[in-house]
A and B are shown apart, each in its own frame.
Chain A
Amino acid sequence: MNRCRPESTFRDSFDQWIAWSLRSAFTHAEPSPEVWDKLQQRVQTLERTACERRSKRTKPLLSRAPSIGHWLKFVWQMVDEHTVSSEAIWSPISPNARLAHALCYRNASLWLASWPVLNKWMPIY
């Protein structure tokens, strides 16, 4: 057995040593079959999510009406009907004071909406 080739340099043999060591350690390593099973599950989940996203994107506008209505209601509550009522607009008080007044009653706007004297100032202090 030729243990030492005369033509081989230290660099060559050193390189071969490293390659041989790594390959002997890792060449036979294989992933377990469970990896493929899990991968399939994840791909199915991805497909399902993509499908749901596509169906949401193609949903007609009318079917989104409840959500638009919800946002309009929210905006209306935020603005407060008293801020945009004709009495408020034509009143002599400044817009800032009007806004402050409206903000003061903002939390009560839902309660006020059902009040029989709708669109009237409710001076509750």
Chain B
Amino acid sequence: MHEDGYWLERLRQGDKAAFEQLYEKYSKPLHRAVLAITRDHAAAEEILQESFVRLYKHAAKLDLDRPILPWLHRVAINLSYNWLVRDRLRFTSLDQLVERWRIRLTHRVEIEKEVEQNERVSTVRAAIERLSFDQRVVIILFYLQGFSLVEIADILNVPLGTAKSRLHYARKALERTLLSDAKFTGEVIYEPLSS
């Protein structure tokens, strides 16, 4: 049985502490990935919440021998996709708007830090943002979350070859965008290696 299986088993028996344990363990990496995909703090928190609600609902169906982080990523990516194509444009109630502004103000310090960050880092992130949803997800799972291509294929429920080609084309697209930028020429590209 996988380590997560132990907590899942306890969650199935109605142990709230097990649910809290899983939340403590996986909320941060999952939130990080969703935030990188959506670039919206409020949406990231909503999606994180919904992903864990689904974990609670489907705990009985999950395989105890497998880690749950890839499953959580799959759920969160599907929810992010829904948010990007549908919910983002949906009319929001006043309460939701107030909530969104509250979260934005909470994260204002982070946003200010982001602005102060290295301009080239911002350019990389802007280039990633311009990628298609599928390519962006692969880039985030591979570079930010550190999943292997086999794990990415499992998360996205696609063949390994598809995951490989998505990563390849995403890299190519990033290269094209970044190399056309004056900041990414010559020695500049090597600078972060020393840090």
Residues of chain A whose beta carbon lies under 8 Å from any beta carbon of chain B: 1-5, 8, 10, 13-32, 34-36, 38-39, 42-43, 46
Contact = CB atoms under 8 A, between A and B. Distances in A.
Given A24-B121, A43-B53, A16 B36 contact: no
B44 interface: yes
Interface of B: 16, 19-20, 23, 27-28, 31-32, 35-36, 44-45, 48-49, 52-53, 56-57, 103, 106, 110, 114, 117-118, 120-121, 124-125, 128, 139-140, 143-144, 171, 174-175, 187, 189-195
Given A22-B139, A31-B31, A32-B106, 10 more contacts: A18-B143, A19-B143, A26-B144, A29-B32, A30-B28, A31-B45, A32-B45, A35-B49, A36-B23, A42-B49
A22 B19 contact: no
A41 B124 CA distance: 39
B75 to A, nearest CB: 14
B27 A35 contact: yes
A17 B189 contact: yes
A4 B190 contact: yes
8 contacts: A13-B193, A17-B189, A18-B128, A22-B36, A23-B143, A29-B110, A30-B31, A32-B106
Contacts of A20: 121, 192, 195
A82 B195 CA distance: 93
B99 to A, nearest CB: 9
A22 B45 CA distance: 19
A14 to B, nearest CB: 7
B144 A35 contact: no
A39 B23 contact: yes
Contacts of B125: 21-22, 25
Contact of B143 (A10, A15, A30, A42): A15
Q: Is the interface of A mostly helix, strand, loop or mixed?
A: helix
A25 B118 CA distance: 10
Contacts of A46: 53, 56-57
Contacts of B20: 36
Given A4-B187, A8-B190, A39-B23, A18 B32 contact: no
Nearest to A41: B49
A15 B144 CA distance: 11
Nearest to A25: B125
A78 B31 CA distance: 57
A1 B48 CA distance: 41
Contact of A29 (B35, B191, B192): B35
A54 to B, nearest CB: 13
B193 A5 contact: yes
